[in-house]
Structure 1
Amino acid sequence: MVRYRVQKKLIRLIIILQCVLIGAASTLVSAGEKLDDAWLNTATSDASSTGQRGALKKNQVLANNIVLSTDPLPEVKGGGDYNIGAHDLLTVKVFQAAELSGDVRVDFLGAIHLPLIGAVKVRGLTPTQVSWLVAKKYGEKYLQNPQVTVFVKEYTSQRVIVSGFVVKPGVYPLEGYTTLLEAIAKAEGLKRLADMEKIVIFRSNEQHKVTGYLVDLKKVQEGLAADPTIIAGDRIVVPQSGGRSFIENVTNILRGFVGFGTL
Structure 2
Amino acid sequence: METDRTSSLYFSLSAVLMVFVLMCSGVASADQLMSLSRYELGSGDKIGISVFGEEDMEKELILTDAGTVSYPFLGEFRVRGMTVGQLQKYITDKLKDGYFVDPRVSVSIKEYRKFFVSGEVKSPGGFSFEPGLTLEKAVALAGGFTQRASKKGIMVTREERGRAVERELTLNGSVLPGDIITVKESFF
Same fold (TM > 0.5): yes
Identity %: 23
- The counterpart of 2:124, out of the listed 159, 169, 172, is 169
CA distance in 2, matches of 1:113, 1:209: 27
CA distance in 1, matches of 2:93, 2:164: 40
CA distance in 2, matches of 1:209, 1:127: 22
Task: Compare the two structures and name the one with the higher strand fraction.
Answer: 2
Match of 1:236 in 2: 182
Q: Which amino acid aligns with 1:161?
A: V
CA distance in 1, matches of 2:97, 2:169: 52
- The counterpart of 1:200, out of the listed 154, 169, 172, is 154
- The counterpart of 1:113, out of the listed 70, 81, 91, is 70
Match of 2:139 in 1: 184
SS at match of 2:117: strand
Task: Compare the two structures and name the one with the higher helix fraction.
Answer: 1
Q: Unmatched 5+ residue regions in structure 2? A: 1-31
Higher Cα radius of gyration = 1
User: 1:163–1:173: structure 2 CA closer, same or farther, 3 Å change rule?
Assistant: farther
Deviations for 1:208-235, whole angstroms, at most 9, x for unmatched residues?
99867374x4xxxxxxxxx333353422
Deviations for 1:98-150, whole angstroms, at most 9, x for unmatched residues?
11112223233322111112233211112232122212211222112211122
CA distance in 2, matches of 1:169, 1:151: 29
TM-score normalised by structure 2 residue count: 0.60
CA distance in 1, matches of 2:64, 2:157: 26
Following superposition, the deviation at residue 204 of structure 1 comes to 7.3
Q: What are the equivalent positions in structure 2 for 1:1-263 lying under 5 Å apart?
A: 79-81=35-37, 82-156=39-113, 159-165=115-121, 168-175=123-130, 178-187=133-142, 190=144, 197-198=151-152, 200-203=154-157, 213=168, 215=170, 217=171, 227-231=172-176, 232-237=178-183, 246-247=186-187
TM-score normalised by structure 1 residue count: 0.45
CA distance in 1, matches of 2:149, 2:55: 53
Number of equivalences: 152
SS at match of 1:123: coil
User: 1:235–1:120: structure 2 CA closer, same or farther, 3 Å change rule?
Assistant: same
User: 1:165–1:123: structure 2 CA closer, same or farther, 3 Å change rule?
Assistant: closer
CA distance in 1, matches of 2:95, 2:169: 49
Q: Which amino acid aligns with 1:229?
A: S
Q: CA RMSD in A?
A: 3.7
